[in-house]
Structure 1
Amino acid sequence: MKRTYRLYIWILINLTCSFTACIEQGEDVLNPPSTFVEMITIPGGIGRMGDIVGNANQPDELPVHQVSLSPFMVSKYEITQELYMQVMGNNPSANIGSMANPVDNVTWYDAVRFCNALSTHEGLNPCYIETVDNTFECDFNTNGYRLPTEAEWEYACRAGSETAFHSGGNEEDVERVAWCAANSDGISHPVGLKEANDYDLHDIHGNVAEWCWDWYNPAYYSNSSLDDPEGPDSGRIKVTRGGSYYMDGFALRSSSRVHFLDPAVKGSQTGFRVVRSVL
Structure 2
Amino acid sequence: MSAGVSIDLVSVPSGLVTLSDRRTRRRWTVQVAAFELAAYPVTEGLYQRVTGRGGPHRHRPVESVSWWDAVRFCNALSIVEGRTPAYRWGQAADEVDWDVAADGYRLPAEAEWEHACRAGTTGPRYGPLDDIAWYRGNSQERRHAVGGKLPNAFGLYDMLGNVWDWCWDRYDPAVYGDYRVLRGGGWFDEHWSCRASVRRRSHPDLAIDDVGFRVARSVHPMTAIR
Q: TM-score, normalised by structure 2?
A: 0.91
1:15-94 aligned at under 5 Å gives the runs 30-31=2-3, 36-50=6-20, 58-60=22-24, 62-91=25-54, 93=55
Partner of 2:144: 189
8 Å CA contact 1:87, 1:114 repeated in 2? yes
8 Å CA contact 1:47, 1:160 repeated in 2? no
3-state DSSP class of the match of 2:217?
A: strand
Q: Give 1 or 2: higher strand fraction.
A: 2
The CA distance in 1 between the partners of 2:112 and 2:83, in whole Å, is 21
User: By how many angstroms is 1:41 displaced?
Assistant: 0.7
The number of equivalent residue pairs is 219
Partner of 1:14: none
Partner of 2:185: 243
In the TM superposition, what whole-angstrom CA distance separates every residue of 1:221-243 from its partner, at most 9, and x where no partner exists? xxxxxxxxxxxxx9221111001
Partner of 1:146: 106
The CA distance in 1 between the partners of 2:47 and 2:19, in whole Å, is 31
1:1-279 aligned at under 5 Å gives the runs 30-31=2-3, 36-50=6-20, 58-60=22-24, 62-91=25-54, 93=55, 98-134=57-93, 135-167=95-127, 173-217=128-172, 235-257=177-199, 259-279=200-220
- Structure of greater Rg: 1
The CA distance in 1 between the partners of 2:14 and 2:69, in whole Å, is 29
3-state DSSP class of the match of 1:176?
A: helix
Root-mean-square deviation (CA, aligned residues, Å) is 2.0
8 Å CA contact 1:191, 1:203 repeated in 2? yes
The CA distance in 2 between the partners of 1:82 and 1:69, in whole Å, is 31
User: By how many angstroms is 1:219 displaced?
Assistant: 8.4
Partner of 1:23: none
The CA distance in 2 between the partners of 1:175 and 1:31, in whole Å, is 36
8 Å CA contact 2:17, 2:111 repeated in 1? no
The CA distance in 2 between the partners of 1:270 and 1:75, in whole Å, is 16
- Structure 1 counterpart of 2:58, one-letter code: M
Q: Show structure 1 runs of 5+ residues with no match.
A: 1-29, 52-57, 168-172, 221-233
Partner of 2:223: none
- Structure 1 counterpart of 2:42, one-letter code: I
